[in-house]
Amino acid sequence: MSEVKRRSAGRPAGTGKASGGHSQSLVRGLKLLEHIASVPQGVSLSELADMAGLAPSTTHRLLQALQSQGFVSPENEQGLWRIDVKTFRIGNSFLEARDFVATSRPYLRRLTSITGETANLGIRDGATAVFLAQHESPQMMRMITRLGSRAPLHASGVGKALLAWTPDDERGRLLEDRELTRVTDNTLYTTEALEAEMARIRAQGFACDREEHAVGLHCVAACVHDERGTPLAAISVSGPMARIPEARLMELGGLVQETAADITAQLGGEIPG
């Protein structure tokens, strides 16, 4: 037996377990980052341990490791943990790498300038829509969505627009494998109602949210497509019903649809026939 083989054969049995332990710690640390990022105002150690299903001592050890690398930081007065600048930089690099976000920003500004309402851009992540860019309305009463926040696909304008052009088999799995929560009294939460809504959205070219995600809020959204004609993102205009009654909702739908088509063309995408 060679020297190399003797060392391999004599390797401590726990080496492989240690490697697995490091992987488990990495996964747990990344999960903690997700939980912290979901609570912008900060989260306590005990709350974070409950959220992650970990012992407080394990949670504290992982937080110390993340803090040492600049990913999280504690607020000494209240003992709350927040994401730190390095996490922000890593997240921001995603936006910089995806040209459609930068390309869409001037169009969002234009939509707000024309409509006076808040314009948003979001993408699909699993069964939720994630908001990546926004141009706020100058109105005192306006809709504001925190960047990085999520909304159910079936209960938001951006989400329904993305869902409508998702391939049929994939959309079927999304609707069947999850419980569709009723966010407001107007939320469509049955598979039959949503499939009928998807057909309407594809026929008219844009999706409408009529108080389905928030009471008193109307929204209209349309898809930006990639070169294969699949949904890349969706843009929306939203505001209070007092300024966006049903008639204006349909007018804005045409404008948002045209704007999404302009972004699609600039990105070299293709709108499905």
Mean pLDDT of 64-82: 85
State pTM to two decimals.
0.67
Mean pLDDT of 17-38: 77
Indicate the fold that domain 98-266 takes in CATH.
Beta-Lactamase (3.30.450)
Give ranges for CATH 3.30.450.40 in the chain.
Answer: 98-266
Mean pLDDT of 42-61: 91
Token pair belonging to 249? 């909702």
Burial class (CB in 10 A: 0-12, 13-18, 19+), 226: middle
Beta carbons of 103 and 266 less than 8 angstroms apart: yes
pLDDT tens per residue across span 145-156: 778 788 989 999
pLDDT tens per residue across span 86-109: 777 776 666 555 578 889 999 999
Beta carbons of 44 and 54 less than 8 angstroms apart: no
Distance CA 61, CA 214 (A): 39
Give ranges for CATH 1.10.10.10 in the chain.
Answer: 3-88
Lowest mean pLDDT among 16-20, 137-141, 261-265: 16-20
Which of these, 90, 81, 101, lies nearest to 40 by C-alpha position? 81
Query: What pLDDT shows up at residue 264?
Result: 93
Q: Find all residues with CB under 8 Å of 171, minimum gap 6, and list them.
A: 163, 198
Indicate the fold that domain 3-88 takes in CATH.
Arc Repressor Mutant, subunit A (1.10.10)
Q: Which neighbouring-strand residues pair with 73?
A: 82
Query: What pLDDT shows up at residue 14?
Result: 40
- Tell me the pLDDT band of 110, cut-offs 50, 70 and 90: very high
Query: What pLDDT shows up at residue 40?
Result: 74
The secondary structure of the chain, three-state, reads CCHHHHHHHCCCCCHHHHHHHHHHHHHHHHHHHHHHHCCCCCEEHHHHHHHHCCCHHHHHHHHHHHHHCCCEEEECCCCEEEECHHHHHHHHHHHHHCHHHHHHHHHHHHHHHHHCCEEEEEEEECCEEEEEEEECCCCCCCCCCCCCCEEEHHHCHHHHHHHHCCCHHHHHHHHHCCCCCCCCCCCCCCHHHHHHHHHHHHHHCCEEEECCCCCCEEEEEEEEECCCCCEEEEEEEEEECCCCCHHHHHHHHHHHHHHHHHHHHHCCCCCCC
Token pair belonging to 47? 């709350």
Mean pLDDT of 43-48: 90
Residue 241: phi and psi, rounded to 5, are -60, -30
